[in-house]
Amino acid sequence: MTLQEFISGMPKAENHIHQDGATSPESALYLAERHGMTLPFSTPEEAAQRFQYRNLGDFIRMIDATNAVIQDEEDIAYLVTELGRDAATQNIRYREVMLSCDFHERTGISLDAQMRGFIQGREAAKTQFGVEFACIPELDRTSPPERNLSLVNRLEPWRKDANIVAVGLDSAEAGYPAHRHKEAFRRARELGYYLTAHAGEAYGPVSIWDSLDEAGCGRIDHGVRAVEDPELVNRLDHIFLTVCPLSNLALKVFPDMEHHSIKQLMDAGVPVSINSDDPPFFCGDLNENYEAVVRTFRLAKPELHALAKSAFTNSYAPQTMVNGWIQELDDYFSENDFIL
């Protein structure tokens, strides 16, 4: 079969996708009409023209303007359900979904309402589409440290029903080091959450070192600029990187896929997975990210198998579930082949 067909049919996990970053132009326009609001675009075609960025700051301004139409619990439930529908079309079995809790609180949606909406959407994703979701609330790097500490302390009542597995860190990287939020991360670790952080994308290796050594993170989201520091690459031999290739190109981290660092990281033994980040905003879903990497670097079938497997084995999912998905993935690779 063709590579596109093979990747489309391949069972997959995704470790790095944002709930609000997955808001399609169609969904945003629907919510804007529902609430009598306006957007920076009036059609999906116009959105595609507007979703062009010079840097991370450009992207953050556009995604914030788009997601201002998310106004209540019902909207979040609708969008999370859509995430499940989309996952099923791509044969994604499991998604670790990141939530911009502080952004939504600042726009008037309480944390409790956000969690209720996520739980409704998560249940719909499971019952309607057979997709499992885990939740990763994200601390905003630009927020006051005490605000993020408060957020961590308010998560516990929702932990089980929302399947909160980790606490993350995102937003503007330069000038907002992870160690500013050391106390929030300490509290999250104390409560038993895993820790992860967006780092090494808009800012260099120092951001990754800071997230590991000062904030205590055990996983890094992006991390692609680690290759600028050979010592750091050696340190990452047991640190999982959730890489988002097309996102990195859209934000000008690399000029093109040929210059992307993912193959260099793989060859150095760094555990990585492929993810879509904010697919509508970067014009590439998970399948398209896989295809871009495989075509560019001419990955052999065992390399693709290892990449797909890594997303399951390094996930926060229970081992019993991971074992079942891995068996399904192994069977798929033994029974199917592709031509580049």
Residue 201 known to be catalytic: yes
From the list 14, 82, 105, 201, the catalytic residue is: 201
DSSP-derived pairing of the beta strands 92-99 and 166-170: unpaired
Query: For residues 65 and 101, is the Cβ–Cβ distance under 8 A?
Result: no
Report residue 277: phi and psi, to 5°: 70, -90
Active site (catalytic) residues? 201
